[in-house]
């Protein structure tokens, strides 16, 4: 029965789900329609809001481009390529391959979401080279591990409320990580997902006759292209290791000092680490540049689509539509059910505002007073917003774009499997938020 439902989901998505660029155009139209009809926003004002917010995510867009590019560069270094190939050979069956990729992705995303996205995609590619497994499911499994990110060490909402001076400190004070990330209910949800998601991806493994295997692209190794005979001083400089070591080694020293001083992982540190390790691993500028030329085409979707999501966020926030959605869910909640309804509302809002920080800024002014008025547990409500933001990422291509670019797939290739994961993980998270 489960296999039949999965095949139905995959076929439905492949037939009806458009490319992620069309997806973002549809969401732009829906957000604009909601602002016009529900909030009565004047058309010209709506156009100004959309255009004014269109470039609000430029900094984040560049970070995501670098996640893709630096991760790809690191993967193409000989040491990392050997490590990923070794991991790939640890599997001998399709189901074992799917479980391995899922578990590694969950662990990596719990540590840091940017790190997890890249590691999951790269491991999926290498495992698919070693085992005949459905590549679409393998990449969906890698993305399925992303579900735990907001309950992990890089979760932006729980880290925000634990930081002195956060915008809602006068209302809720400081909320330590022991009350959110390391609370009993949050750890229970993460552990439950670490069991349920691999079991689900294993159960979705198609029969051999339905398997769509990985087809390696026609690509030459960066070393093969970059080690041509140097015929000029400029060529010899590009193919010498000294300049790379003069930059890469101090970069690695900086990382050591950063972590020794108590610094943590964030997107900038992840990108810096990937780049410095890539510089040292490739040894010569020519080899690194060859890998860079391979990586850049995959960033096209991020460059074009992320500004549209910034425009959508501006429409929902400035028109007040996001606040209206949150208020609607909170209006019929009780003290015990408020985390559940907060989770559902956060999942809906996340489809239009796929940013943890942006979503917290929109929903906190509604959900915090509701929790205080009802006497609901504030850490549960805070984490309900965080988990809702993470949950519907399984259906939202915003964060899937860098992973898909590395994997070489389209959103419709994996979304049928992700839809099955969405339904099951939503039940697990809702139960954990309501009853633990």
Residue 135 lies in a domain: yes
pLDDT exceeds 50 at position 314? yes
Nearest C-alpha neighbor of 336 from the set 193, 427, 188, 436: 436
The pLDDT of residue 248 is 95
pLDDT digits (tens, 9 = 90+) for 367-383: 999 999 999 999 999 99
Rounded to an integer, what distance in angstroms lies between the CA atom of residue 236 and that of residue 106? 43
312 contact partners, CB below 8 Å, separation of at least 6: 24, 27, 28, 31, 352, 353
Is residue 209 assigned to a domain?
yes
Per-residue pLDDT band for 55 (boundaries 50, 70, 90) equals very high
148 within domain boundaries: yes
The answer to whether position 371 is within a domain reads: yes
344 class by beta-carbon count within 10 Å (0-12 exposed, 13-18 middle, 19+ buried): middle
What's the pLDDT tens digit per position in 234-285? 888 888 889 999 999 999 999 999 999 988 777 788 889 999 999 999 999 9
Tokens read off for 350: 């996340």
* Long-range CB contact pairs, 209-217, < 8 A, 24+: 210/7, 210/134, 211/94, 211/132, 211/133, 211/134, 212/134, 212/135, 212/136, 213/128, 213/132, 213/133, 213/134, 213/135, 214/125, 214/128, 214/129, 214/133, 214/135, 214/138, 215/135, 216/129, 217/408
- Report pLDDT for 239: 87
- Residue 233: band (very low, low, confident or very high) from pLDDT cuts 50, 70, 90: confident
For 373, other C-beta atoms within 10 Å of its C-beta total 11
pLDDT of residue 147: 97
Mean pLDDT in residue range 28-34? 95
Tell me the pLDDT tens digit for each residue of 280-309: 999 999 999 988 988 888 788 888 898 999
Residue 176 half-sphere exposure toward CB, CA atoms < 13 A: 3
**Residue 303 falls within a domain, yes or no?**
yes
Domain membership of residue 65 as a residue range: 2-213+296-435
pLDDT (0 to 100) of residue 222: 47
Neighbours of 37 (CB within 10 A): 10
**Assigned domain for 265 exists:** no
- Work out the mean pLDDT of the chain and round it to a whole number: 90
The string of pLDDT tens digits covering residues 387-417 is 999 999 999 888 898 899 889 899 999 999 9
Give how many domains the chain has, as a whole number: 1
Whether 157 maps to a domain, the answer reads: yes
Worst-scoring range by mean pLDDT, 94-98, 227-231, 302-306, 360-364?
227-231
- Return the higher-pLDDT residue of 114 and 346: 346
Q: How far apart are CA 285 and CA 340, in angstroms?
A: 52
In a domain, 223, yes or no: no
User: Would you say residue 227 has pLDDT above 80?
Assistant: no
Q: Is the pLDDT of residue 218 over 80?
A: no
Cβ atoms 288, 307 nearer than 8 A: no
Higher pLDDT: 42 or 270? It is 42
In angstroms, rounded to a whole number, what is the distance separating the alpha carbons of residues 68 and 83?
A: 19
């Amino acid at each position: 029965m489960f296999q039949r439902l999965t095949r139905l989901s995959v076929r439905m998505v492949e037939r009806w789900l458009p490319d992620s660029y069309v997806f973002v155009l549809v969401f732009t139209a829906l957000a604009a329609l909601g602002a016009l009809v529900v909030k009565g926003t004047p058309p010209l004002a709506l156009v100004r809001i959309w255009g004014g917010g269109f470039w609000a995510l430029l900094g984040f867009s560049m970070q995501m481009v670098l996640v893709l590019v630096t991760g790809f560069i690191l993967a193409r270094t000989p040491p990392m390529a050997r490590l990923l190939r070794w991991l790939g050979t640890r599997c001998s069956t399709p189901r074992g391959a799917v479980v391995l990729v899922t578990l590694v992705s969950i662990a990596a995303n719990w540590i840091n979401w940017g790190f997890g996205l890249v590691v999951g995609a790269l491991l999926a590619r290498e495992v698919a080279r070693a085992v005949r497994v459905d590549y679409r499911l393998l990449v969906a499994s890698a993305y399925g591990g992303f579900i735990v990110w907001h309950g992990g060490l890089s979760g932006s909402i729980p880290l925000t409320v634990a930081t002195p001076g956060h915008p809602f400190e006068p209302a809720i004070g400081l909320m330590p990580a022991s009350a959110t990330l390391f609370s009993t209910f949050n750890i229970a949800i993460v552990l439950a997902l670490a069991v349920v998601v691999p079991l689900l991806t294993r159960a979705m493994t198609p029969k051999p006759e339905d398997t769509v295997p990985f087809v390696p692209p026609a690509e030459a190794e960066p070393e093969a292209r970059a080690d041509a005979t140097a015929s000029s001083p400029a060529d010899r400089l590009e193919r010498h290791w000294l300049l790379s070591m003069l930059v890469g080694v101090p970069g690695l020293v900086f990382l050591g000092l950063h972590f020794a001083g108590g610094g943590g992982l964030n997107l900038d540190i992840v990108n810096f680490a990937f780049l410095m390790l890539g510089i040292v691993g490739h040894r010569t500028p020519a080899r690194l540049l060859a890998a860079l030329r391979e990586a850049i085409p995959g960033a096209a979707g991020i460059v074009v689509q992320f500004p549209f999501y910034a425009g959508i966020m501006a429409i929902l926030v400035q028109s007040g539509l996001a606040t209206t959605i949150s208020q609607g869910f909170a209006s019929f909640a009780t003290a015990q059910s408020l985390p559940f309804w907060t989770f559902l509302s956060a999942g809906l809002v996340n489809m239009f505002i796929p940013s943890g920080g942006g979503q917290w800024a929109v929903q906190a002014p509604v959900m915090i007073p509701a929790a205080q008025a009802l006497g609901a547990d504030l850490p549960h409500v805070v984490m309900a917003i965080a988990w809702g933001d993470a949950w519907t990422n399984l259906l939202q291509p915003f964060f899937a774009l860098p992973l898909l670019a590395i994997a070489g797939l389209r959103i419709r290739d994996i979304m049928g499997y992700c839809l099955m994961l969405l339904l099951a993980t939503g039940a697990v998270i809702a139960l954990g938020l309501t009853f633990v």
